[in-house]
A and B are shown apart, each in its own frame.
Chain A
Amino acid sequence: MERHFQRDLEQLKSNVIKMGSLVEQNLADALEAVLKNDATTASKVISADGAVNKMEIEIDNGVVDLLALQQPVASDLRLILAIQKINNDLERIGDHAVNIAESAYRLVETPQEEPLLEIPNMAKIAKEMFQQALDAFIHLNAQLAQSVLESDDRMDALNRGMNSQVIRMIKKDQKTLEGGLELLRISRNLERVADLTTNIAEEVIFHTQARIVKHHATEKG
């Protein structure tokens, strides 16, 4: 006899996946707005964030319901705890997508078009990492989650590289100051997206293998 708790837990997980897809789309749109210099797509991202926030509250309530009423244990408990954190991570990635869209909006209005430097590369990696983290959660695949963790270092390096490249660009031509600052904001937001995506992957590992890998924790007896 299947427990109705299992159905409720599956429903909660499927709501997280839905929210993940929504955030994935918003992030992709925000990056497209930057890469194609497209204010309309940027506006779309800003107005779509309300749906993400609404889902966050809905999932929060679902977590409280299951914790308070069903006394979950073992892998069920770890999944619910992971969902609670992933929910928070997804909402914040949604906020970073909005920040990126706002930068895209401002970039459209800057008088001159700056080179995007490492942004296209970072955008590609961030999207891939996010997609992999979400897939790892959907299929509870710890191996895939592990590969997300490995990509984060590349993003950190690219973000640091952006700082020096933008400084050089502004020094060379002061008219790029405004646009350069927006590029740094986008870079910083993408770096945060990668961090939060890494958190999601860490939660998948915690749920599937009961291993804590955040803060480079190592397993000791």
Chain B
Amino acid sequence: MLTQDAPPSAEPRMKITAKDVHCYFGPVHAIKGITFAMPEHSVVAIIGPSGCGKSTFLRSINRMHELVPNSRITGTLALDGEDIYGMDAVVVRKRIGMVFQKPNPFPTMSIFDNVAAGLRMNGMRDKKRITEIVERSLQQAALWNEVKDSLSKSGVSLSGGQQQRLCIARTLAVSPEVILMDEPASALDPISTAKIEELIYELKKEYTIAIVTHNMQQAARVSDHTAFFYMGELVEYDVTKKIFTVPAKKQTEDYITGRFG
């Protein structure tokens, strides 16, 4: 018999809240009225078939959607209750970091400089402080032990999995509060994927994480809450265990059991 987890005694603080969010690419209505909230220090997975709007929604959280020509967004997205679209976009992207599908270290920079780049761009000049933050970020990204003796080597000399952890270290260096991950392990082998997943599990102690993934098993393994998107709509959002054992909606059940369509 399955029992639902008992509700937590204190309501967790909501880090990101979305209210009736609609996103458009020209005439295309990609996101249709998404409303949900991401609890602080937790991992939310967004799953759904290709074209369901999960990446678009993720990109609307740190205001990357608006960089696409002819794009438009309505509704409210808030970080700690403050309207994200009323804030300076640069500040938003500093507080809400992003890791992409394909590892994208700066190709001309060393491992050290890749991690330090964001700090320097923000005007930090104190070399000792930069060194401290680079080391801490690489440690948090579980990469320090592998690169501590080769910090001056090029970032692209690393393996794919290491490059992705380097990109995570680069994101962590500027002390974001939220990390958005768009398919962060889909280009990696199973061992590197397991490392990234373990890293996500560890990072949620200090950060709030949203991860878009095609891999439902990955969503099950790493997330606390799961949102199922379909054709731009949020079909179901609940505790991950519930989504993967007793989903409330038939569409969710059909998708996670592979009976879709």
Flag whether A3 is at the interface (Cβ < 8 A): yes
Q: Which of A85-128 contact B (CB under 8 A)?
A: none
Q: Is the CB of A61 within 8 A of B3?
A: yes
Q: Count of A residues near B, CB < 8 Å?
A: 14
Flag whether A65 is at the interface (Cβ < 8 A): yes
What 1/0 flags go to A48-87 for Cβ under 8 Å of B? 0000000001001100110011110000000000000000
Of the stretches B19-27, B85-93, B128-136, B194-202, the one at the interface is: B194-202
What 1/0 flags go to B188-229 for Cβ under 8 Å of A? 000000110111010000000000000001001100000000
Flag whether B240 is at the interface (Cβ < 8 A): yes
Flag whether B255 is at the interface (Cβ < 8 A): no
Contact of A69 among B1, B3, B195, B221 (CB under 8 A): B221
Flag whether B241 is at the interface (Cβ < 8 A): yes
Return A147 CB to nearest CB of chain B, in Å: 35
Count: A-B pairs, CB below 8 Å: 34
Contact of A70 among B142, B199, B221, B245 (CB under 8 A): B221
Which residues in B have their C-beta under 8 angstroms from that of A139? none
Which residues in A have their C-beta under 8 angstroms from that of B221? 5, 69-71
Flag whether B2 is at the interface (Cβ < 8 A): yes
Flag whether A157 is at the interface (Cβ < 8 A): no
Flag whether A4 is at the interface (Cβ < 8 A): yes
Q: Which of B172-202 contact A (CB under 8 A)?
A: 194-195, 197-199, 201
Return A4 CB to nearest CB of chain B, in Å: 5
Q: Which residue of B lies closest to A69 (CB)?
A: B220
Distance of A57 Cα from B4 Cα, bound (Å):
12
Flag whether B36 is at the interface (Cβ < 8 A): no
Q: Is the CB of A1 within 8 A of B195?
A: yes
Q: Which residue of A lies closest to B142 (CB)?
A: A1
Distance of A69 Cα from B222 Cα, bound (Å):
9
Q: Which residue of B lies closest to A71 (CB)?
A: B217
Q: Is the CB of B245 within 8 A of A64?
A: yes
A69 and B194 contact, Cβ closer than 8 Å, known pairs A1-B142, A57-B1 = no
A68 and B1 contact, Cβ closer than 8 Å, known pairs A1-B198, A4-B198, A5-B221 = no
Q: Which of A1-29 contact B (CB under 8 A)?
A: 1-5
Flag whether B106 is at the interface (Cβ < 8 A): no
Which residues in B have their C-beta under 8 angstroms from that of A71? 217, 220-221
Q: Is the CB of A69 within 8 A of B142?
A: no
Which residues in A have their C-beta under 8 angstroms from that of B197? 3
Distance of A1 Cα from B196 Cα, bound (Å):
10
Q: Which residue of A lies closest to B2 (CB)?
A: A64
Which residues in B have their C-beta under 8 angstroms from that of A5? 221
Q: Which residue of A lies closest to B240 (CB)?
A: A69
Distance of A70 Cα from B241 Cα, bound (Å):
11
Q: Which of A196-218 contact B (CB under 8 A)?
A: none
Flag whether B100 is at the interface (Cβ < 8 A): no
Q: Is the CB of B201 within 8 A of A4?
A: yes
Q: Which residue of B lies closest to A2 (CB)?
A: B198
Distance of A65 Cα from B244 Cα, bound (Å):
9
Return A2 CB to nearest CB of chain B, in Å: 8
Q: Is the CB of B244 within 8 A of A69?
A: yes
Which residues in A have their C-beta under 8 angstroms from that of B244? 68-69
Return B133 CB to nearest CB of chain A, in Å: 22
Return A56 CB to nearest CB of chain B, in Å: 11
Distance of A61 Cα from B90 Cα, bound (Å):
45
Distance of A157 Cα from B126 Cα, bound (Å):
83
Return B1 CB to nearest CB of chain A, in Å: 7
Which residues in A have their C-beta under 8 angstroms from that of B201? 4
Q: Is the CB of A3 within 8 A of B194?
A: yes
Return A65 CB to nearest CB of chain B, in Å: 6
Which residues in B have their C-beta under 8 angstroms from that of A65? 241
Return 26 A-B CB contacts under 8 Å, by A number.
A1-B142, A1-B194, A1-B195, A1-B199, A2-B198, A3-B194, A3-B197, A3-B198, A4-B198, A57-B3, A60-B1, A61-B3, A64-B2, A64-B245, A65-B241, A68-B220, A68-B241, A68-B244, A68-B245, A69-B220, A69-B221, A69-B240, A69-B241, A70-B221, A71-B217, A71-B220
The 5 A-B pairs of least Cβ separation, nearest first, read A69-B220, A68-B244, A1-B198, A68-B245, A71-B217
New A-B contacts (9) at CB < 8 Å, excluding given A1-B142, A4-B198: A1-B195, A1-B199, A2-B198, A3-B194, A57-B1, A64-B245, A68-B220, A69-B221, A69-B241
